[in-house]
Chain A
Amino acid sequence: MKLHILAALGIGLITAPVHAADNAGTALLKSQCMSCHAISKPVASLDRLWERKGPDLHYAGNKFNQPWLEKWLQNPVRIRPAGELYTRHLKGSDKEDVVDESTLTPHVKLSKSEAEAVAGALMALTAPDLVEKGVFKGAKVSMTMGGMFFGKLRGCGACHMAKPGSGGSSGPELYTASERLQPDYIYSYIKDPQKIDPGIWMPALGLSEPDLQRLTGYILQLDAREGK
């Protein structure tokens, strides 16, 4: 009987700090993140897409790698060169449209303990119906072939940067994607962006299964190619 009580107390002592961190993370999500990000599934509409100030996070646990979240939240670097929604942050010029930097605000910066708590809370936000586990098979890809596919054959570089400063600006940069994103998420998003992010300005490209594997593999290897 006494042994049971001691065991229960022991478990309590071990799990109490974990719960405290969970609660702190959830509290931070509500106080710091919710004004710009959806942490529960929103009702999709074009108006909402225009109103939101950052990407939805209700499936963050299926999207991000936790170590990257912890690192990035302490030192946020812009991922979408033209912000969100990109059109709201553009201005004309005598050449191409350019980003109107005056309309962009820096992302909130967290302390190490705050970042760890928030990252933990974010990883608990999952939507298993959006990202199927194990869809990316992990094959290595020739960077020459992958680059040709990404650029000339499928035109991904029109909207995304595969290396800093080169490529499109309306979509998130992809040269940190392997550190940032889970492989199955990359695969699933390329396959059907509208399923994960309804109304988003990326259409499904109708890629075959081998092409989805190849493109996901290429994006995951971009960091390696940059020698990072």
Chain B
Amino acid sequence: MNITRTVSILSLASGLLFAGQTVAADAEHARAARNYDTYCVQCHGINRNGRGINSRDMSVQPRDHSDAKGMGDIPENEILKVIKEGGLAVNKSVLMPAWGGVMSDAEINEMAAYLRHVCKCGSSK
């Protein structure tokens, strides 16, 4: 009886902890998604597929954030650097500007986590 009750309490506690973590992750993604919709959609698209309204006339096409393979090949530190310092900082296109003066480091970290969520991929490096 006591053992059953203890197990139940532990299950409930871990369930609440997991739910809490999920809610926190959702909240984190919600803020990043809002920033994405404000700053990134113009080039990377409302479907996060690199087909933003500005992409039509761009000489270098924006990254497709829904591409699990392409995104999975990019190391975590490169994603953070390219958002904060722009494409030139990682030997990529000048068309990706530096957002470090607009988003805080915390928001950029959230954005990197959100991008992993969008591509359904982790970093392979």
A residues adjacent to B (C-beta < 8 A) = 46, 49-50, 82, 85-87, 90-92, 95-99, 152-155, 157-159, 166-170, 194, 199, 201, 203-206
Contacts and interface: CB of A to CB of B under 8 A. Distances in A.
Nearest to A157: B57
Contact of A97 (B34, B52, B94): B52
A50 B34 CA distance: 10
B54 A159 contact: yes
Contacts of B42: 86-87, 159, 168, 170, 201
Contact of A96 (B39, B56, B100): B56
Contact of B58 (A86, A87, A158, A194): A158
A98 B56 CA distance: 10
Given A92-B45, A158-B95, A203-B100, 18 more contacts: A49-B38, A86-B41, A87-B38, A87-B46, A92-B46, A97-B45, A97-B51, A97-B52, A98-B53, A99-B53, A154-B94, A155-B95, A157-B57, A159-B54, A166-B57, A168-B58, A203-B102, A206-B98
Contacts of A152: 59, 94
Given A96-B53, A169-B54, A203 B34 contact: no
Contacts of B37: 87
B9 to A, nearest CB: 41
Nearest to B53: A97
B38 A204 contact: no
A22 B52 CA distance: 43
A153 B94 contact: yes
B58 to A, nearest CB: 5
A97 B51 CA distance: 6
A96 B42 CA distance: 10
Contacts of A50: 38
Interface in B83-101: 93-95, 97-101
Interface of B: 34-35, 37-39, 41-43, 45-47, 51-59, 93-95, 97-102
Interface centre among A95, A152, A170, A194 (most CB of B within 10 A): A170
Interface centre among A86, A158, A159 (most CB of B within 10 A): A158
Q: Nearest 7 CB-CB pairs, A to B? A: A170-B42, A168-B54, A155-B95, A97-B53, A96-B51, A96-B56, A155-B94
Interface centre among A91, A96, A201, A203 (most CB of B within 10 A): A96
B53 A46 contact: no
Given A87-B41, A158-B95, A194 B56 contact: no
B38 A199 contact: yes
A87 B37 CA distance: 7
Nearest to A155: B95
A204 B38 CA distance: 16
A159 B55 CA distance: 9
B59 A194 contact: no
Given A152-B59, A203-B102, A170 B53 contact: yes
